[in-house]
Amino acid sequence: MSSAHYPNVYRAADDRYEPEAHSPMPYNRCGDSGLKLPAITLGLWHNFGGDRPLETQRAILRRAFDRGVTHFDLANNYGPPPGSAESNFGRIFAQDFRPYREEMVISSKAGWYMNSSPYGFGGSRKYLVGSLDASLKRMGLDYVDIFYHHRPDPDTPLEETMSALDHIARSGRALYVGISSYSPELTRQAQSIARDLGTPLTIMQPSYSMFNRWIEGPDGPTDPSVSPAAKTSLLKTCAENGMGVIAFSVLAQGLLTSKYLNGIPENSCLGNHKMNSTFLNDDTLEGIRALNAIAEERGQSLAQMAIAWALRRPEVTSALIGASSVEQLDDSLGALDNLSFTDEELRTIDRYAVDRNINQWQVATDSRD
Ligand SMILES: NC(=O)c1ccc[n+]([C@@H]2O[C@H](COP(=O)([O-])OP(=O)(O)OC[C@H]3O[C@@H](n4cnc5c(N)ncnc54)[C@H](OP(=O)(O)O)[C@@H]3O)[C@@H](O)[C@H]2O)c1
């Protein structure tokens, strides 16, 4: 595309909060906090590393902000290589978004593997504080809005990780703190410690989609020998503990779109080996086809229905999506035009919206409970 499409001086769309052409973005209160998050958040895990053209990244970010997406989700290790998504975001931020900083919620995380030093993985105070300082430098920011511990770490006392988050907030490096991929029980314990320290956890970031429903259950009386706390779902735990929920991979890394209906395109997450190739099998494909037909009957794309479906739960504050092009982003934001479902639609969807063994983050969740 010619540079004429991307003028050097960016001015955000004047109608970004009240567009005439589309449904406006809803902003939902995050748990018990005063922070409002857009119903759809853009994540920079894939598609923003050193392997992607900066101009495409910039076009996606501009379009998102022009359409009311105020929240951008990053992590220290996003790339490839690790760190490059934050560096690229920093370059684009400096050129385009600095005048809009107060309108943006920018998130980062540490916890997963960043480097092979003893301080490049886990939940220690040493890793979290040092990593966030490096993230702030890469992005050219004074503070992030939300900082997460990215995954549970069995080798660090929970008290140390929560006190690191408390320190990070008190030192002004982050306005809010959260956790990702923690089990319901560990979430309850973490929130109890965080509250005692005086910096409650505002948000939980778990994987969730029509093909990965672990955060919904089990609720209710099943095995009487299991304690009520251990039976409580992650969604209910978060609601009871004042935490918002931002659901990631609601498109199951692209499986819940029309993209794989007729084979594996070269320019796809699966085609580029960024997703486990076993995730797309005959059973899953049958489910995708059935769900695509339901979406068509609703007058939506499958991606739009998958996003609307994740947002149907009142506990879900925001659906966190990825996009490799402006076209994909526009399609996904079209979910806002129809967010409601009839009971009958939900019952039909339930037949195909079943766990398909794609929760690659389960190992981290189970690593400590
Ligand atoms: N906390 C954690 O541990 C964690 C883990 C994973 C992700 N996340 C966060 O969640 C964000 C989203 O994760 P994800 O990338 O797995 O999300 P996703 O939304 O499930 O999948 C995004 C991929 O789906 C495809 N896609 C998106 N919109 C489409 C559309 N309308 N039509 C057709 N295909 C479409 C694209 O694939 P192609 O690239 O194939 O075009 C895109 O890269 C990440 O960026 C990150 O911020 C957090």
Does the CB atom of residue 25 touch ligand 1 within 6 A? no
Cα 104 to averaged position of ligand 1 atoms, centre (Å): 20
What pLDDT is stored for residue 151 in this prediction? 98
Does the CB atom of residue 333 touch ligand 1 within 6 A? no
Question: Which atom of ligand 1 lies nearest, measured to the CA of 205?
Answer: 1
Query: From the CB of residue 121, how many other CB atoms can be counted at a distance below 10 Å?
Result: 21
Does the CB atom of residue 331 touch ligand 1 within 6 A? yes
Mean pLDDT across 290-297: 98
d(CA 109, CA 327) in angstroms, rounded, equals 28
Cα 42 to averaged position of ligand 1 atoms, centre (Å): 9
Query: From the CB of residue 367, how many other CB atoms can be counted at a distance below 10 Å?
Result: 15
Q: Decide if pLDDT at 4 tops 60.
A: no
Q: Which of 217, 250, 223 is nearest to 235 (CA)?
A: 217
Does the CB atom of residue 321 touch ligand 1 within 6 A? yes
Q: At what angle do helices 84-92 and 54-66 cross, to 10 degrees?
A: 60
Cα 308 to averaged position of ligand 1 atoms, centre (Å): 15
Q: Decide if pLDDT at 87 tops 80.
A: yes
- Global pTM value: 0.95
| Dihedral sign computed on CA atoms, order 34, 39, 44, 45 | positive
Average confidence score pLDDT of the chain: 94
Cα 116 to averaged position of ligand 1 atoms, centre (Å): 26
Tracing tokens 């995050």 back to the chain, one arrives at 30
Residue 266's pLDDT band (cuts 50, 70, 90): confident
Cα 200 to averaged position of ligand 1 atoms, centre (Å): 28
Question: Which atom of ligand 1 lies nearest, measured to the CA of 250?
Answer: 20
Residue 56's pLDDT band (cuts 50, 70, 90): very high
| Category of 254 on φ-ψ map: left (φ > 0), alpha (ψ -120 to 50) or beta | left
Cα 175 to averaged position of ligand 1 atoms, centre (Å): 25
d(CA 40, CA 320) in angstroms, rounded, equals 6
Sequence-distant (≥ 6) Cβ neighbours of residue 95 within 8 angstroms: 8, 10, 58
Q: Could you tell me if 125 and 164 are in contact, meaning their C-beta atoms sit under 8 angstroms apart? A: yes
Does the CB atom of residue 46 touch ligand 1 within 6 A? yes
d(CA 358, CA 65) in angstroms, rounded, equals 30
Does the CB atom of residue 128 touch ligand 1 within 6 A? no
Percent of residues, the chain, with pLDDT higher than 70: 95
Q: Could you tell me if 78 and 45 are in contact, meaning their C-beta atoms sit under 8 angstroms apart? A: yes
Cα 322 to averaged position of ligand 1 atoms, centre (Å): 3
Residue 278's pLDDT band (cuts 50, 70, 90): confident
- What are the tens digits of pLDDT across the range 59-76? 999 999 999 999 999 999
d(CA 25, CA 329) in angstroms, rounded, equals 14
Q: How many residues does the chain have?
A: 369
Q: Residues 223-239, buried b or exposed e (16+ Cβ, 10 A)?
A: eeeeeeeebbbbbbbbb
CATH for 35-254+300-343, options being 3.30.450.40, 3.20.20.100, 1.10.1040.10, 3.40.50.2300:
3.20.20.100
- What are the tens digits of pLDDT across the range 90-129? 999 999 999 999 999 999 999 999 999 999 999 999 999 9
Which DSSP symbol is given to 24? Answer: P
Tracing tokens 């408390």 back to the chain, one arrives at 166
Residue identifier of the C-alpha nearest atom 11 of ligand 1: 43
> Both tokens of residue 353?
């919206």
Q: Where along the chain do its domains lie?
A: 35-254+300-343
Residue 230's pLDDT band (cuts 50, 70, 90): low
What pLDDT is stored for residue 167 in this prediction? 98
| Amino acid, res. 326 | V
Alpha-carbon distance values, 266 to 40, 45, 80, 190, 252 (Å): 27, 19, 18, 42, 18
Does the CB atom of residue 269 touch ligand 1 within 6 A? yes
- What are the tens digits of pLDDT across the range 319-335? 999 999 999 999 999 99
Q: Tell how strand 27-29 and strand 244-248 pair up.
A: unpaired
> Both tokens of residue 91?
């370059």
DSSP string, 303-319: HHHHHHHHHTSTTEEEE
Which DSSP symbol is given to 301? Answer: -
d(CA 89, CA 73) in angstroms, rounded, equals 10
